[in-house]
Structure 1
Amino acid sequence: MTRTIAWIWGTACLAGLALPSTAWAQRVTDNVIANASDAFGESVGTERVGLYGVDDVRGFSPVDAGNARIEGLYFAPVDRLPVRLVRGNKVRVGITAQRYPFPAPTGIVDYDLSATGGADQLTLGLETGQFGSVWANLDAQVTLARDLRGYAGATLRRVRRLDGGDNKTDIVSSGLAWTPYAGASVAVFQSFSRSYDDDAAPSIFPAGDFLPPSIRRRERIGQTWAERDNTHEIFGALAKLPLGAWAIEAGLFRAERRVDAGFTDLFVNTRADGTTPDRVIVADANNRDLALSGEVRVVRAFGDAALAHRVTLSLRGRTGDRRFGGVQRIALGESSLNFSDQRPRPVLTFGADDTDKSSQATVGLGYSLASAGRFSLDLGLSGSRYRKTVRFASSGLVTAASDRPVTASVTGSLILSPALTLYGGYVRGFEEVSVAPANAANRGAVPPAIRTRQTDVGLRYAVTPTVSLVAGLFEISKPYYNLDDQAVYRQLGLSSNRGLEMSLAGTLRPGLSVVLGNVLIDARISGALVDNGSIGARPVGSIKRRTIASFDWRPDGGESPLSFDVSAEGLSSRVGNASNRLLAPPRESVDIGLRYRFALAKAPALLRLQLANALDDYGWQVAPNGAFTYSQGRRLYVELRVDL
């Protein structure tokens, strides 16, 4: 029923705007490098720049930890938000989290909705990529009345992946934004996306302390019948209503992900020559993850610029209803990564599903004190009531957990001069744990939420009026979850990520923008399993350094129709197994791009070319569960955008 409603709503909005459009195809003028204010992580449409993203902030995932926001309001995602639903996101960490209500230890990812965009817009985007992949996007923002705007969008994507598989994705999004009076906003939105004919790529687990062999790209290693099919729906409404010295902010969101067909291709105990005695396909179906979440805030501001006060009362809540398990493990036995080893499709018989129901309600009180040009101080105190019940169908076992954590935060900044600001903070949080991976005996299980903490301190220095330097130290501590020697996903110890991060970003001169970033991380595990040598002292998949450098140059002081960009990323070696005796080699990649702006039948247009991984670096990525996957090779993207 909800799928039908989503399609009817999306189709109605499209008909009302008289065109089929996407949830934010990027405009001709959009340029994430030129617009970035720091190097900590920012995206515009499909372009991204910075050290961090939604999957990795200081070595952890803020989305998996439950630290996502939509337009600043609490939101519990069940999957990564479709890029067509949102026009971009901003990673808030360190100084970028200052003055932000109720910060979180693992950082916050704040999404901007396409439905609340600005001026009227109709943008067509067409793109082609590796091996004949194609994308088509069409996006619209239209004024329906003096205080009412409509948004509608759709996207069509057909991807041919480097591992030989394919993927199809369709997205429909729509929304309405109402401005009842000056400064106020009310928005409703929906998004429906489906990913299907999605071939399961191989996940490689070496049998010893050696790397897998190089695999020829575009060789179809996966099984032709192991095609995944899932849908993702989101409905939401939010309101921001200033009332003099008071303000009310509220958001309510419903997100659901359904997996009609799921497959994971595991090459277990892979030998150095690429063969394995234990290839296993893990199949599941009829899984669901449903979350209802939201937040209501009442804000009272008083004082003046010399001494401004703000008091925030917040009520956040979420409920989760997951259906998982019932998997079938299909043993293929001896196999190889070196050729397409196709097998007949087996008869799939799934077991009963396990269920996971959770709820959390949080009341928070925040106080902010700021003096223009002098200092700021933010205090937060929250109390939560948390419950979680998991029922395992095969054994009848029921596990229950409850908690009443109290979390707090204190952050502040001291302005020593117009150019120099010091900042620091201490945050205690209550966060989610990542789902048990596909190779876990308890695949799909989610442990109860955990208590975390973060300390950071640093400075921001205005090198010039348009270039800013940020440098900071941080430490994040939380329980460490991974697979034990029986492949059970559970707590194995405590983790501590200490690091130094630096950002230099801004406009060096008219037309020349730069984003430079570097983070050094010392990720450590402590506990009995480390002490007795069962596991190493560093988390699987962790790195010690990430360095990024991005430049965008538009000649003639930023007035030329041509612009050129280059982005480089360097990664240190990555821990490849639990014993820490295997390391994936360091990786470097360089992307080179060109933009040409012109008029197409009087409409502003952009031709965008990008050569990704221009040096054709071949490297290995390592997931926290120890799965190796190989990186993408050199590829050329060609995109045409037109603002009609």
Structure 2
Amino acid sequence: MTLLIGTARNPGRFRLRSASLPLLALALPYPHAAQAQVSRTEDNAITNADDAFGQSVGNERVGLYGADDVRGFSPTEAGNARIEGLYFAQASSPGGRAISGNMIRVGLSAQGYAFPAPTGIVDYTLFRNFGGLGANMRLEYGQYGSPILLADAQLPLGADAGVTLSLNLREQERHEGGRANNMGLGATIAARPWEGAQIIAFASEFRFWHDPAPPVSFPDGDFLPPEYKRRELLSQPWALRDNRNTLFGAVAKLPFGEWRVDVGLFQSGRRVPETYSDLLTRLRPDGTTPARVIVANGNNRDDVTSGELRVTRSLVTGPMAHKLIVSARGRVGERVFGGPLRINLGESTLLEPDFRAEPTFTLGPENLDKVQQGSVGFAWSATVPGRFSLDASVTQSKYRKNVDFASPTREDVRVRDTPTTGSLTGSVFLTRNLVLFGGHVRGFEEALVAPEAAVNQGDAPPALRTRQTDLGIRYAFPGNIRLVAALFTISKPYFNLDENQVFRELGSNTNRGAELSLAGQILPGLNIVAGAVLIDSRITSPLVDAGQIGSRPIGTSRRRMIFDADWRLDGGTSPLSFDISVIGLSAQVGNAAGTLMAPANTTVDLGMRYRFKLAGANALLRAQVNNVANVYGWNVSGSGAFQYRPRRHGSVALIMDL
């Protein structure tokens, strides 16, 4: 690896070549005779999944939903994130190497989960090491030839304590063309002071830089952008993005007989010294535009400190187990944003490179956004195993938001609110294998930040009141197959761009839908995860009644289907296994009027695993081909920006438990 120290504009750029990866790996701890505490060669999201609603394990993920999309909404944008089950407000996604995976808590998986939230919860888990010694390494030749190194080392600090150190280096060949660098670092210290107790402190950082801003297009009519060559670099050579995310914190889970104390404190930060957006507005059918706009921004930061203290009392009365929970949670955040400059390059095209000289510009003054929120919650649960469960909670919050705009023409924002939210959920065993579940949840959530196409880019409206109701069944087939089916409805205010490209509240948005999950082992060695979600997303607004906007939000689709299968030969004993992933997405709404639709598409991914011994260590060869049929499809953002989906690409990785 060669480390090149550049200017302040492009600091710390590295060149990571495939041939240098094994040399770099020699610098890692290599306890050859030790048993690795965590086996990365066994990471497999398909075989670990309990349902089809979303789970990640290491670098593998599976499911209908992800951290940015649950039932048509984003739990992370809404502030519905947790770390080890405890409240966590994030300035950015935890991209460092302290997080080992996540699980989407929605529907049945949210049953029995204290203080659920509308649109679901993304619950992150941490690396932990209680006295183990070992190391793991992943050398990957990734998409379009991207060299990647991921490494973890576990070091003991006694019989019940240890350290995990993690590293991620990647020189990423972007699917839009060009190359970007990113690096992730992480460390955790874990201790088990007594049986059942855990204390974990962690720190992580994720940085990406020299990242080209790919162009996105906004058709000026009821037509799709023309298909253009994928992987061709169309970005302006000077429009490079730089982003640094940090996450620090600690979690303690301390049982004291019938009492339990859980506490978590987290600090999440984001630094954006330089970023750009490349917008081909008013795109014509021939791929040309009269106004290619570069939105330059920078010197932005976002810091938020959050945490939760939870005390739980468990008791048993006859056949019934009870839990009483008192929770105090809060967050304090400060965000510096704004100051963007819109640079109109004039006439341009989407079909071929159109590089321009870097203009001289000065960013405008930044705005300051401060938010404080404190909440006290009470929850009660009652369970009779094999019979029923009932969970209820109520939370009283105090919310303050102050936005000081630098421009004297804009009125500052002052919001004070004291919302009361709550939930009532439960499940009943109709038979030994059939469970009926459901619930109603009212929440208080953050709103989306104004996108790059908005003239008020970066603005964040005050928090919103939301609600969700769902009802479903789970049936456990003989063996290890579980079927989950549910109906749901979610309502929240609808924000998007108006006719003046101002991001503001335009009405209310209700998502009604049905979801289906089938997961488990159908034969020895053969696991499947299959699911579908059907969503009728509707806007209620005077603008809809007047015909100024359509009744469905931009970027939404009515149907998403997945099918994943992992087949390990010889009844699950062979070193060789194959996997397939099929994702089908129906047409997406492409403009505010609802008169343009991005076509439906289905992609197929294929993979293979081969397990073997290398120098006495467990090793895995992992090969994948994504978008096997090389389908050309469009993705539409919530603001109406079109961007093509990645073309066919492959990867191969060597993973070792050292």
Letter in 1 for 2:300: N
**Residues 584 and 622 in structure 1, CA contact (< 8 A), matched pair in contact too:** yes
C-alpha separation in 1, matches of 2:97 and 2:648: 26
Determine the structure 2 residue equivalent to 1:631: 645
The 5 A counterparts of 1:440-455 are 440-455=454-469
Pick closer, same or farther for the CA change 1:630–1:369 going to 2, 3 Å: same
What is the match of residue 475 of structure 2?
A: 461
1:231 equivalent in alignment to 2:237:
no
Q: Whole-Å Cα distance in 2 between the matches of residues 131 and 469 of structure 1? A: 38
- CA-atom RMSD in angstroms: 1.8
Q: Following superposition of structure 1 onto structure 2, how do residues 265-304 of structure 1 map, counting pairs within 5 Å?
A: 265-303=278-316
Give yes or no for the alignment of 1:426 onto 2:440.
yes
| Alignment of structure 1 residues 331-350 onto 2, 5 Å | 331-350=344-363
Structure 1 residues 228, 564: closer, same or farther in 2, change over 3 A? same
Q: What is the one-letter code of the residue matched to 1:605?
A: A
Moved more, 75-84 or 517-526: 75-84
Q: CA deviation at 1:85?
A: 2.5
Question: Once the 2 structures are TM-superposed, how far is the Cα of residue 465 of structure 1 from its aligned partner?
Answer: 2.9
1:101 to 99, 114, 135: 114
Is 1:125 matched up with 2:125? no
| 2:449 is equivalent to residue 435 of structure 1 | yes
**Equivalent residue in structure 1 for 2:226, among 198, 210, 213:** 213
| AA matched with 1:251 | G
Q: State the 1:402 CA deviation.
A: 1.0
Q: Equivalent residue for 2:613?
A: 599
C-alpha distance in structure 2 between counterparts of 1:240 and 1:305, whole Å? 27
Shift of 1:120: 3.8
C-alpha distance in structure 2 between counterparts of 1:87 and 1:118, whole Å: 18
- Aligned amino acid, residue 85 of structure 1: A
CA–CA distance in structure 2, aligned partners of residues 88 and 367 of structure 1: 28
Q: Is the 8 A contact 2:97 2:205 kept in 1?
A: no
Give the distance between the partners of 2:152 and 2:297, measured in 1 at CA. 35
Distance 1:26 1:111, change over 3 A: farther
Structure 1 residue runs of 5 or longer lacking an equivalent are 1-6, 8-13
Choose from 532, 538, 541 the match for 1:524.
Answer: 538
Which residue among 404, 414, 434 is the counterpart of 2:418?
404
8 Å contact kept, 1:26–1:641 = no
Q: Secondary structure at the match of 1:439?
A: coil
**Distance verdict in 2 for CA 1:556–1:206, change over 3 Å:** same
Q: 1 CA distance for matches of 2:325 and 2:117?
A: 16
**Aligned match of 1:10:** none
Q: Answer whether contact 2:96 2:185 (CA < 8 A) is retained.
A: no
Give 1:117 shift: 7.8
Match of 1:476 among 490, 493, 503: 490
Q: Retained in 1: the 8 A contact 2:131–2:161?
A: no
Confirm or deny: 8 A CA contact 1:51 1:518 kept in the other structure: yes
Cα contact 1:115–1:189 (8 A) shared by 2: no
**Which amino acid is the alignment partner of residue 165 of structure 1?**
G
Contact kept? 2:130, 2:160, Cα under 8 Å: no
Q: For residues 336-382 of structure 1, what are the alpha-carbon distances to aligned partners after superposition, in whole Å with 9 as ceiling and x for unaligned?
A: 11111000111130111001000100100000011111000000000
2:152 is matched with which residue? 139
Contact 2:303 2:333 in 1 (8 A): yes
Instruction: List alignment gaps of at least 5 residues for structure 2.
Output: 1-11, 13-24, 32-36
Q: Counterparts of 1:100 and 1:579 in 2: how far apart (Å)?
A: 40
Structure 2 counterpart of 1:75, from 74, 88, 101: 88
Counterpart contact for 1:32–1:44, Cα < 8 Å? yes
Give, in whole Å, the separation in 2 of the partners of 1:428 and 1:119.
43
Structure 1 runs (4+) deviating above 2 angstroms are 14-20, 115-121
Counterpart of 1:615 (choices 629, 644, 649) is 629
The residue number in structure 1 matching 2:267 is 254
Could you tell me how far 1:131 is from its partner in structure 2?
2.5
Task: Verify the 8 A CA contact 1:153 1:174 in the aligned structure 2.
Answer: yes
Name the SS for the 2:175 alignment partner.
coil
Structure 2 CA distance for aligned equivalents of residues 552 and 83 of structure 1: 28
Give the drift of 1:329: 1.2
For 1:537 and 1:433, locate their aligned partners in 2 and report how far apart those are by CA, in whole Å: 20
Which whole-Å CA distance do the structure 2 matches of 1:117 and 1:195 have between them?
A: 31
Does the 8 Å CA contact 2:131/2:158 hold for their aligned counterparts? no
Q: Give the distance between the partners of 2:406 and 2:129, measured in 1 at CA.
A: 44
Shift of residue 554, structure 1, vs aligned partner: 0.4
| Alpha carbons 1:605, 1:642 under 8 Å: kept | yes
* Residue 310 in structure 1 maps to residue 319 in structure 2: no
What is the aligned partner in structure 1 of residue 198 from structure 2? Answer: 185
Which residue of 2 is the match for residue 61 of structure 1? 74
> 2:100 maps to which residue?
87
In structure 2, distance between residues paired with 1:117 and 1:593: 33
CA distance in 2, matches of 1:219, 1:508: 43
In 2: Cα distance, 1:117 partner to 1:566 partner = 35
Residues 245-286 of structure 1 show CA distances to partners (whole Å, capped at 9, x for unaligned) of 000000000010000101010110111111111101111111
Matched residues, percent identical? Answer: 52
Deviation at 1:50, TM superposition (A): 0.6
Distance 2:504 2:625 in 1: 42
Match of 1:35 among 48, 54, 66: 48
Rounded Cα–Cα distance in structure 2 between residues aligned with 1:416 and 1:549: 29
2:96·2:205 contact (CA, 8 Å) conserved in 1?
no
Deviation, 1:175, is: 1.3
Whether 1:565 and 2:583 are equivalent positions in the alignment is no
| Among candidates 207, 212, 217, match of residue 199 of structure 1 | 212
Q: After TM superposition, give the deviation of residue 25 of structure 1 in Å.
A: 9.7
Judge conservation of contact 1:25–1:125 (CA < 8 Å) in 2.
no
Distance, in Å, in 2 between the alignment partners of 1:118 and 1:434 is: 42
Task: Report the TM-score when normalising by structure 1.
Answer: 0.96
For the pair 1:161 / 2:174, whether they are aligned, the reply is yes
- The equivalent residue for 2:547 is 533
Partner SS for 1:28 = helix
Counterpart of 2:15 in structure 1 is: none
- Give distance in 2, aligned partners of 1:457 and 1:120: 46
2:374 paired with 1:394: no
CA 1:455–1:273 in structure 2 vs 1: closer, same or farther (change >3 Å)? same
The 10-residue stretch of structure 1 (345-354 or 93-102) with the greater mean CA deviation from structure 2: 345-354
**Per-residue deviation, 1:562:** 0.1
Aligned equivalents of 1:25 and 1:374: distance in 2? 36
Paired residue secondary structure (1:589): strand
Equivalent residue for 2:429, pick from 406, 415, 418: 415
How many angstroms apart in 1 are the aligned matches of 2:236 and 2:39?
35
Superposed CA offset, 1:598-625 (max 9, x none): 1111111000110100011110000000
Cα distance in 1 for partners of 2:450, 2:134 equals 42
